[in-house]
Chain A
Amino acid sequence: MLSSTADHLYWMARSMERAENTARMLDVTYRMSLLKQAVAEPHHEWRAMLSISGLHEDFEARYPAPSADDVTRFMALDQKNPGSIYNSIFTARENARAVRSSITSEMWEALNHTWLEMRNIHAAGIAEDGVSPFFEWVKERSHLSRGITHGTLLRDDTYRFLRLGTFFERADNTARILDVKYHVLLPSLEDVGGAADYYQWGALLRSVSAFESYRKVYRDQITPKRVAELLILRPDMPRSLTACMNEVNRLLQEINGPRANELLRRCGLLHGELCFGSIDDIFVRGLHEYLSEFLERIYKLGDLINTTYFWSTDEWPTALPAAAQSFKMASSGQSMA
């Protein structure tokens, strides 16, 4: 497959997954802010939401304070914010357009339709009571894209690069959600176990569609350690880091290639540590330290995917510089690791 084609497929899937995860994070933040419980400072949740995405500086440069309205506008519709849902859908659609002949016509038509509706929503704006329906819509369109891909596309490298993008982005997002909750919302351990704590962990679980799963798996009260275990180590939890890295590892082995050795080695290492990891070890080390390292490692893996498969410099491949990271259509979230 042409490197540029694989590049477009990968970013098409990543961008759509990013749109979905941004909607999930906004949705949970919105719900949490409605609880109106006592918090140390106003707009606390919204500030946290911005740090999850690494976009707080960008936001602060253009908006006075992280109010619900402004953050929602910034993250959902802002054309100048490369990480907004609007731009994620645009990026997904533009990448799909470039590889239209490689994907099924149903996939193209669904994504094109999503983009056309997104444009209409952007023009009309989102009313206050329309916020949650909008997030629902984004999630549904993302489910639809993934479902059509799964149901119509030949299982070749086209499919693999798309899935690779999906799970890579998802692993990144789950790690961020967990990290920010633990360190921004609850800086002091004394708060652990309070009512606010319960609602916030509950909201977090809901944001990754894991609330019911938690109940099923643990049949017990919500504790940070169990939440972390569920979202990091459980292979049967579809948004957990282990589940995502299971897929990434398998897909990379299938794609393989003459230059994939280092990529496969590093991915296998990370995957193996997750498979045989224990939540006690992780907590001994510190959850934040663990998640930061995880994010750094998958960022490096992303770099390696780039140089292994999407190489776009004139250098002969064996001498590719590690810094060759010219993602053509996705200049956004990568800078935040």
Chain B
Amino acid sequence: MSTAYDEMYAADGSVRENYRSYADWLQATSADVIARKREEADIVFHRVGITFAVYGEDAGQERLIPFDIVPRIIPAHEWQRLADGLRQRVKALNAFLHDIYHDQEILKAGRIPAAQVLGNAQFRQEMIGVAVPEQIYAHIAGVDLVRADHGDERGEYYVLEDNLRTPSGVSYMLEDRKMMMRLFPELFARQGIAPVEHYPDLLLNNLRSVAPGGVNNPNVVLLTPGQFNSAYFEHAFLAQQMGIELVDGNDLFVRNDTVFMRTTQGPRRVDVIYRRIDDDFLDPLAFRKDSMLGVPGLFAAYRAGNVTLANAVGTGIADDKAIYVHVPEMIRFYCGEDPILSNVPTWELSKPKDLQYVLEHLPELVVKEVHGSGGYGMLVGPTASREEIELFRAKIVAKPGGYIAQPTLALSTCPTYVDSGVAPRHIDLRPYVLSGKEITMVPGGLTRVALKEGSLVVNSSQGGGTKDTWVLEN
């Protein structure tokens, strides 16, 4: 594992071009002011209630996701390339989803092994032949990017994973920006920083653009699992920002394959559902029968084309870690272009040669469960104990197809306030790509930071924090 690329400082200790204005300001600002601003941020976040619920013993307690005041700054030209790459990638992923639920051309052409797709637990038979508006499946995609260096100080970006089911975190992107503008308005006057505040407008436009055909003024709602879900704050926040109703399963019912919501003035038809409930829980008649969160008959209404679900059912087949390795091939197949963004080199443990190599090099590698997410069910070789490695080895040997492995990337770092002062901490980036009649996004995304020294796991469930993300305008 080589030295990490630092976003602010070059290897020789000089400040990088994109951080120069910020560094000047930081130097001219006293430590007292910074300390006071950090306290203020804490108080405001608590008061506004930007928290996520904690399960278990402390049920009912609410916890803050730590916010760091040093922004992650991306130069304009870098973002331009990222945006082009994201557009290309998400377009190919949507084309892939349409293809495998219809003609399966990519499988017929032998570009992806059919067994890996059709035999995958994430492949939804029920979606075969279902027509969805604009042939869009992943309306909201959260693509996790990391940056790693190979000793040449270029800091190449890689796609770590595509989140195409119900990606979360965008409320933190918006609240982090609001907080930075409140705490340090002078920084925004010093240089052009691309705005992100219009994300809810883009999202609403996007959802409206995929309403079932013939609907003029679509009724869009946000479907939440309820107020005890850890992301409930985000659901309520986005619904309020978009001015749409926040509903749970009990607010909706289906009649004649049409979805209605119960209002005090009688039933009102629902056209588009931005759902933050997993496929399995959407409809007890179609999927898990024990689901108390869903709406009976919803899937039949969906198949009949009377309501749009965003994201579509069955997108998990495109962001599954076993399928991830094939995304560059999808881009070539559907777009006829070379991929702009690289994948992290990945060993597929279903292949005997890869398996043998990985088992011999476990202490150097990161191994992930193909269906896992949220930083659970993974092994980070360099930081794992001998027991943990042996435990994982046994799991891999028992079911090689359930895992992939990747080299341990030295994720880029960004200066971050920690107990001992300012220190470099590893970060990633999750831009949110919206697909409807067209593809839109706000510049940047959510930067997550692993607050523990040396840690590479940025998930909030694993002690990660967030930073404001600036894309410079010039």
Q: Are A and B co-members of a single complex?
A: yes
Chain A interfacial positions (CB closer than 8 Å to B): 1-4, 6, 97-98, 100-101, 157, 161, 255, 257-259, 308-312, 314, 316-317
Contact of A255 among B251, B264, B296 (CB under 8 A): B264
Complexed CA–CA distance, A246 and B380 (Å): 69
Give the distance to chain B from A100, nearest Cβ to Cβ, in Å.
7
Chain B stretch 276-319: residues in CB contact (< 8 A) with chain A: 296
CB neighbours (8 Å) of B264 from chain A are 1-3, 6, 157, 161, 255, 257, 308-310
Whether B266 pairs with A314 at a CB distance below 8 angstroms is: no
A316 to B256, CA, bound (A): 11
Besides A314-B296, A317-B267, 4 new A-B residue pairs in contact (Cβ under 8 A), listed by A number: A1-B263, A2-B263, A4-B251, A97-B227
Q: A2-B245, A101-B236, A101-B239 are in contact. Are A316 and B263 (CB under 8 A)?
A: no
Give the interface size bracket for B toward A: 20 to 34
Interface residues of B in 247-264 (CB under 8 A from A): 247-248, 250-251, 253, 255, 261-264
Task: Give A316 to B260 CA distance when docked, in angstroms.
Answer: 10
| Cβ-neighbour of A314 out of B239, B253, B263 (below 8 A) | B253
Closest-by-CB residue of B relative to A314 is: B253
Interface residues of B in 231-253 (CB under 8 A from A): 236, 239-240, 245-248, 250-251, 253
> Can you list 21 A-B pairs with a CB-CB distance of less than 8 A?
A1-B263, A1-B265, A2-B251, A2-B261, A2-B263, A2-B264, A4-B251, A6-B264, A98-B227, A100-B236, A101-B236, A157-B264, A161-B264, A257-B264, A257-B266, A258-B265, A258-B266, A309-B264, A314-B253, A317-B266, A317-B267
A294 to B240, alpha carbons, bound, how many Å? 41
Tell whether, in the assembled complex, residue B263 and residue A3 are in contact, meaning their CB atoms are under 8 Å apart: yes
B267 engages A4 (CB within 8 Å): no
From known contacts A2-B247, A316-B255, infer whether A101 and B240 are also in contact, taking CB-CB under 8 Å.
yes
Give the docked Cα–Cα distance between A137 and B95 (Å).
63
Docked Cα-Cα span, A258 to B239, in Å, equals 27
CA distance A161 to B246 in the complex (A): 18
The docked-state distance in angstroms from the alpha carbon of A211 to that of B251 is 46
**Contact residues in A for B253 (Cβ distance below 8 Å):** 314
Question: Among the interface residues A2, A6, A101, which one has the most CB atoms of the partner chain B within 10 A?
Answer: A2
Contacting residues, chain B, for A101 (C-beta < 8 A): 236, 239-240, 246
Residues of B within 8 A of A314 (CB): 253, 296
Residues of A within 8 A of B263 (CB): 1-3
A221 to B296, CA, bound (A): 64
Shortest Cβ distance from residue B293 to the other chain A in the assembled complex, whole angstroms: 14
Counting chain A CB atoms within 10 Å of each CB, which of B236, B245, B255, B264 scores highest? B264
Closest to B239 in A: A101
Instruction: Give the docked Cα–Cα distance between A157 and B263 (Å).
Output: 12
A173 to chain B minimum Cβ distance, whole angstroms, is 25
Contact A3 B262 (CB under 8 A): yes
Point out the residue from B239, B240, B262, B265 that lies within 8 Å of A4, measured CB to CB.
Answer: B262
Out of A98, A255, A312, which one reaches B262, CB within 8 Å? Answer: A312
Please give, as numbers and ranges, the residues of chain B lying within 8 Å of A2 by CB-CB distance: 245, 247, 251, 261-264
CB distance from A298 to the nearest CB of B (A): 20
Cβ of B248 and Cβ of A4 under 8 Å apart?
A: yes
Within 208-250 of B, Cβ neighbours of A (below 8 Å) are at: 227, 236, 239-240, 245-248, 250
CB neighbours of A259 from chain B (8 A): 266
Complex Cα distance, B261 from A98, in Å, reads: 17
B227 / chain A contacts, CB cutoff of 8 Å? 97-98
* A255 to B267 alpha-carbon distance, docked (Å): 16
Report, nearest first, the 6 A-B pairs whose CB atoms are least far apart: A3-B262, A309-B264, A101-B240, A257-B265, A6-B264, A1-B264
Closest to A98 in B: B227
The residues of B that contact A255 with a CB separation of less than 8 Å are 264
| Shortest Cβ distance from residue B232 to the other chain A in the assembled complex, whole angstroms | 10
Q: How far is the CB of A313 from chain B (nearest CB, A)?
A: 9
Point out the residues of chain A lying under 8 angstroms from B267, CB to CB.
316-317
Cα A257 to Cα B265 with chains together (Å): 5
Q: Mark B6-36, 1 if CB is under 8 A from A, else 0.
A: 0000000000000000000000000000000
Bound form: Cα–Cα A97–B247 in Å: 14
Once bound together, how far apart are the Cα atoms of A196 and B255, in whole Å? 63
- Closest partner residue, chain A, to B297 (CB atom): A314
Considering only residues 138-164 of chain B, those with a C-beta below 8 Å from chain A are none
Residues of A within 8 A of B250 (CB): 4, 312
Task: State in angstroms the CA–CA spacing of A112 and B248 once bound together.
Answer: 23
Query: Which B residues are CB-close (under 8 A) to A100?
Result: 236
For residue A316, give the distance in angstroms from its CB to the closest CB of chain B.
Answer: 7
Residues of A within 8 A of B245 (CB): 2
Give CA–CA (A309, B266) in the complex, Å.
8
* Bound: A258/B264 CA distance, A: 9
> In chain A, what residue has the closest Cβ to B254?
A314
Most interface-central of B261, B266, B267 (chain A CB within 10 A): B266
B251: which of A3, A258, A309 is its contact (CB, 8 Å)?
Answer: A3
For A161, list chain B residues within 8 Å (CB). Answer: 264
Within the assembled complex, what's the spacing in Å between the Cα atoms of A78 and B255? 44
Contacts of B236 in A (CB 8 A): 100-101
In whole angstroms, what is the CA distance A3 to B264 when docked?
5
CA–CA, A3 and B251, complex, Å: 7
Closest-CB distance, A165 to chain B (whole angstroms): 13
The minimal Cβ–Cβ distance linking B261 to chain A, given in whole angstroms, is 6
Q: How far is the CB of B168 from chain A (nearest CB, A)?
A: 18
What's the nearest-Cβ distance from chain B to residue A110, in Å? Answer: 14
Q: Are B262 and A311 in touch, CB under 8 angstroms? A: yes
Which residues of the partner chain B approach A6 to less than 8 Å between Cβ atoms?
264
Minimum CB distance partner of A109 in chain B: B47
Return the chain B residue nearest A328 by Cβ: B250
Q: Which single residue of chain B is at the shortest CB-CB distance from A108?
A: B49
**Neighbouring B residues of A4 by C-beta, 8 Å:** 247-248, 250-251, 262
| B255, closest chain A residue (CB) | A316
Nearest CB in chain B to that of A313: its residue? B253
* A161 to B265 CA separation, bound complex (whole angstroms): 13
Q: In the complex, which residues of chain A have a beta carbon less than 8 angstroms from the beta carbon of B266?
A: 257-259, 317
A309 and B265 alpha carbons, distance in the complex (Å): 7
* A315 nearest CB neighbor, chain B only: B253
How far is it, in angstroms, between the C-alpha of A4 and the C-alpha of B248 when the chains are bound?
9
Residues of A within 8 A of B296 (CB): 314
Give complex CA distance A308, B263 in Å.
Answer: 10
Which residues of chain B are within 8 angstroms of A312 by Cβ–Cβ distance? Answer: 250, 262
